[in-house]
Amino acid sequence: MADKDLIAKRIAKEFSDGMILNLGFGIPNAAANYIPKGVKVILQTENGGLVFGPTPKKGEADPDLGNSAGSPITMLPGASAFDLATSFGIIRGGHVDATVLGALEVDETGSVANWKVPGKMMPGMGGAMDLLVGAKRVIIAMNHTDKDGNSKVLKKCTLPLSASGVVDLIITDKAVMEVTDKGLLLKEVAPGVTVDEVKRITEATLIIPETVGTM
């Protein structure tokens, strides 16, 4: 299984009936394809859509329907489209139960950086700032290390922050970690990955319980 699919499937296990969810660019959006059978959620996209479903099959996409990244989506019965002011009213009003976002870095205090690398052209913060402080639960989904093998799960973020102390759960291609006031609690490791491997590639302090599950 590709790393991104493993992460997307694990994200979807955090969904439960009736939740209003916002999924960010890339891997988080892919979680819409793995919503467990029997679980009904309401997906919201900050560019102005409510109640959308999986990625359409090749050749079946509607060019007028896209998520916040511009990727094709399907609209389900009861769906609606609206302006940005209404969309951000939903987010800022605290009506989103959980948001899943990607990140450049996240740290053991629950702070996250996902919008700027000094000296590089980046697309900007987008709706991340509002989602990070407006959603009731924040899940970060990303690769555990960068392309050079450096940990992206840090003791303290080094890049400009998107928000401070807001993250609840971190899901990577190597592990699932819960943010606690004592550090990051290692809850699960990816198939074929050991606890020692996760410790070796993680800069942040990890709390290791007696039993660690498998993603």
- From 14, 46, 108, 188, the catalytic residue: 46
Write out the residue range of the structural domain in which residue 70 sits: 3-214
| pLDDT value at residue 90 | 96
The mean pLDDT of the chain is: 93
**How long, in residues, is the chain?**
215
- Total domains present in the chain: 1
Question: Among 2-16, 32-46, 63-77, 126-140, whose mean pLDDT is lowest?
Answer: 63-77
Q: Please check whether residue 172 is in contact with residue 151, taking contact to mean a CB–CB distance below 8 angstroms.
A: no
| pLDDT value at residue 1 | 67
121: confidence class by pLDDT, cuts 50, 70, 90: low
| pLDDT value at residue 199 | 97
Residue range 47-78, pLDDT digits in tens: 999 998 888 988 999 998 888 778 898 899 99
210 is catalytic: no
CATH code of 89's domain? 3.40.1080.10
- For residue 119, pLDDT over 90 is answered with no
